[in-house]
Every structure is written in structure tokens, then in C-alpha cells.
Structure 1
Amino acid sequence: MEQHPESKHPDQDYDQVPIDFSFVLASSVHDMKNSLGMLLNTLGAMMEASPPKDAQQAKFFSTLEYEAARINGELVQLLSLYKMDEKTLAVLIDEHHLIDVIEEQIARNDALLRSRNIRIEVDCDADLAWYFDSELVGGVLNNLVVNCARYCRERLLIRVSEEQGYLCICVADDGQGYPENMLLGPIPQASVSFNSGNTRLGLLFARKVLSLHKSRKGQGYMTIENGGPLGGGVLKLHLP
């Protein structure tokens, strides 16, 4: 009697295929980002159709919008970092007016700033232009504005100037300043705080974005200090 080879279930082949966890994670993050974007749009439409009845309800709405926007921003940063690691992120360097990029980020966070009674001052020459990727640098600035709005008391300053051939974007607040361990050395590798939920993802993203900007002068970099014009934290972005 002829013997037939043992039948093999198709799924057995897939059991031997290694899982690219970073790809799976990136795909999941992408789906979460899309869902969160729909949630933010729905929330905005709901607030427009049914405005808050009092200050307490307005604060609740503002907190919900802030947290959703913050998570959405972190998901975008995660996807960008993944693309950087995979060498698939498109970096589009072109000339842009700084004031336009800054005002765009302020407008994105207008509701948050108003709900927290934060006054934001911009010190930037309206004619100042520079070469950089406006989406990436704008994303870094947006993250800084959101974080400063969370930790500052009532004032936030964005000052732009030229320093030794570099463009310097300074973001200063009147809060308690950055923790000491954030002022030491390069990226803190083991600085995740489970108490605060702070992964320092924004700092990593900012450093990576700046490092993608290069010229004969060098590449972009970031500095962090305390004190400054408002007495709180000061973070400076330097673009060649």
C-alpha cells in the first residue's frame, strides 16, 4: 500500500517564522494613533456642540483634551523614532520663517493654554528664516509647549536668536525647573519614572530630530538648564 507523507497544517509553517516585534509594535501604535485622532475630533465636535456650562466642566474638558493630545503626540513620536531606526523617515529640509512654525504650535494648544491661564510670550524677528524640517521641528516645539504648560505656573517664553552661526530656539518657563539628573550628560538611559509615568520620550525625540539637521557647521543639538529669564526650566534647540 502506498504511504502518503504526513499531512502538515499550514499554520505550522508560521510557527517557525520569527516575530519582528518592533514592526508589530509600530503597526499597533499606528492603529492607536488613528483611533486617538478620531477621539480627539469627536471630542472637539462635542465641545463645540455642547459648550461647558461652568468653569469646572470646562476644566474637565480641557484635562481630557490635554491628556488625549499628549498621548497622541507620544504615539507620533514613537512612530517617528521607529522610522528613524529603520532609516525610512523622510527629512524635508527647506527654508521656513520661524514665527510661522511657532505660532502654529501655539494655536494648536490655545485651549490648553487658556484653560490653565498661561501667558505665552514670543520674542522672534518676523523676518527670521532658517533651513529645517518644519514638521519635525514643529513636533518638538509642540511637545515642549505642552510639557511647559503642564509644569509652569503662569508664564512661558519662546525666544529665537542666532548664536555663533546656529539658530537657537529657547523655551523657558516659570516652573520649578528640570530635575538635576536631567541636567547631567547626554540622554539618561535609565531614567524612566514609574511614579510620574515620565519616559523622557520627548527628550529622546528632540535629540534625534536635531541630530538629523546637519551642515558644514556641524549638527543640531539641545541644551537644558535652570534659571533663565523666567527663573524656571530652559531648554534650547540649536540648529546649524
Structure 2
Amino acid sequence: MTDTQNPSALSAKNTSQADQSIDFSMVIASAVHDMKNSLGMLLNSLDELRQEHGEQLSGTRGFNTLQYEAERVHNDLVQLLGIYRLGEQTLSAHIEEHFVPDFLQENLARHTPLLDGLGIQCSVAADDLLGFFDEDLLTGVLNNTINNAIRYTRSRIHLTARQQDDYLVIGVEDDGRGYPESMQHSGPVSFGSLDFNSGSTSLGLFFASTVAQLHNQGGRKGEIRLRNGGQFGGGVFEIWLP
């Protein structure tokens, strides 16, 4: 006797299997987006608490650590979303004109409460330049770089901007021990060079390099450069935009 199944039952089974076929990367991206927004609200709340209870909280190690780590995770999530969009081929640069000194001051202002709480001095030396770049993407790069400098500096961070060889060069310097020799380089950072088995994947550098390369003009692409020296002799991060 031949065993047959009801065609309608087979159809229902196949439909059920199709419904369970989930694009996991999209689920992760959606979750990351929600977490990023939640952390953004948390950071705003921390800023409000610092303003309301500045004397009690500003010098508190635990509060400063909380704000620093929340900012760091928020930056990581921003980068992950950018890399997801890169993989989906939906990440692009929307180039607009910006007055560079104002752009740097606005980005620094976001970190000023934490810098003050940690006793870190920060200065800006920017030529009066008009730059053409994607404000959101470059903000993501600067936020991560400043946050990284906060981690490794001793007491000072310096933001710079100049024009060199027909490039807009924006830099973040600190007075820490500087980059190890293995990290000092110029040019693009490939995804294949990331080491997910180590404590530091250099995901931020890959994101910054990607953002730089999205800025191109006349066949020239942007790039990042890492070296030691600068005004304080510590680490110097630069993003070069054509």
C-alpha cells in the first residue's frame, strides 16, 4: 500500500518552513539599531545627571567609567551598523560643505563633560577651512577616535585640521604612549586584517578607513594614517579627505 500525504498538508508544511527562514543578519542589524538608540538615550540621561549633580558626580570614578563605557559601546554599535550597510552595498557618503573649525568644536562639545570629569585638557587648532564631507560618517569616526584617545591619553587631547597636498587633514593627538609599531601605517584597512580572536579587533580603524575611502574626488580616495609624534609626542590619528 502506497503512503501518500495530503497535498494541502504538504503545502502548509512548506509554508511553515518558509516562514521560519529568517535573514539573521537583518535581525541582528535591527537589534543593534535598537540598542544604539537606547544607549543614546542613556548617554543623554547621564549628561543630565552630571549637569544636575555636577559637584557630586564629576569627579566620581565610577560615574566617569560608566559614561566612558556607554559611549564606547554606542560607537561600536554605530560602526557595526555602518559595516552592515557596507555589506548590503547601501553605505554611501552624502558630501556637503562644512566649516571645519565649527565641526570640530561641535564634536568636542559632546565629550567635554566626560573630559572635564576625568581632568583631561582638550584643545582645537584648526585652520579656517571649508571641507566637503559626510557629516554623519565623519562624526562617527571622530567620536570613536576621541573616545579611544580618552582611554590612552595621560592628560591632553588635541584636535587639528589643515590643508595639505590638496587634502583636508583632520587629526586627533594625545600625550599617551602612542601606537605600537605594528599599528602605524598609511592607507586602507582591509576587513580580512581584523583579528576577532584578540582583545582588540581594530574594528574602529576599519570603519574609519571605509569612511575615508567613500570620500573620493578626481580618482583620489581618502585614507587614514596612524603615527606617533604630534604636539605631545603621543599617538596621532589622521583622516585625509580629497
TM range (shorter): 0.7 to 0.9
Give the C-alpha shift of residue 163 in structure 1: 1.0
- CA RMSD in angstroms comes to 2.5
Q: In the comparison of the two structures, how many residue pairs are matched?
A: 234
2-structure distance, mates of 1:24, 1:69: 23
Mapped pair 1:191 → 2:192:
no
- Shift of the alpha carbon at 1:124? 0.8
Residue 97 of structure 1 aligns with which residue? 99
- Pairwise CA distance, 1:169: 1.2
1:157-172 matches, cutoff 5 A: 157-172=158-173
CA contact (8 A) 1:225 1:234 kept: yes
Q: What one-letter code is carried by the residue in structure 1 that aligns with 2:95? A: I
In the alignment, is the contact (CA less than 8 A) between 1:62 and 1:111 conserved in 2? no
Alignment equivalent of 1:38, drawn from 33, 37, 41: 41
Q: Residues 125-147 of structure 1: CA distance to partner in whole angstroms, max 9, x if unpaired?
A: 2x311111111112211111111
1:133 aligned onto 2:137: no
| Deviates further, 145-154 or 181-190 | 181-190
State the Cα distance separating 1:89 from its structure 2 match.
2.8
CA distance in 1: counterparts of 2:118 and 2:56, whole angstroms: 17
Q: What does 1:1-240 align with in structure 2 at a 5 Å threshold? A: 5=6, 7-8=9-10, 10=12, 12-15=14-17, 18-51=21-54, 53=56, 58-125=60-127, 127-183=128-184, 187=189, 189-192=193-196, 194=198, 197-216=199-218, 218-240=220-242
Which consecutive unaligned segments of at least 5 residues does structure 2 have? none
Deviation at 1:50, TM superposition (A): 4.5
Q: Deviations over 1:52-89 (max 9, x none)?
A: 53666x22212111111111111011111111221223
CA contact (8 A) 2:92 2:214 kept: no
Q: Which has the higher helix share?
A: 2
Give the percent of matched residue pairs that are identical in Structure 1 and Structure 2: 41
Give, in whole Å, the separation in 1 of the partners of 2:87 and 2:157.
Answer: 33
**TM-score for the superposition, normalised by structure 2:** 0.86
- Counterpart Cα distance in 2 of 1:145 and 1:4: 64
- Looking at structure 2, the residues matched to 79 and 54 of structure 1 have their Cα atoms a distance apart, in angstroms, of 32
The code of the aligned residue for 1:74 comes to D
User: In the aligned structure 2, how far is the partner of 1:11 from the partner of 1:47?
Assistant: 56
- Aligned amino acid, residue 229 of structure 2: G
Give the superposition deviation at 1:43.
Answer: 3.2
- Match for 2:144: what amino acid? N
Following superposition, the deviation at residue 95 of structure 1 comes to 0.8
Any stretches of 5+ residues in structure 1 without a counterpart? none
Amino acid at match of 1:43: L
Asked if the contact 2:168/2:241 (under 8 Å) is kept, the reply is yes
- Matching residue's letter, 1:128: L
Q: Is the 8 A contact 1:92 1:133 kept in 2?
A: yes
SS of the residue aligned with 1:204? helix
Displacement of 1:20: 2.7
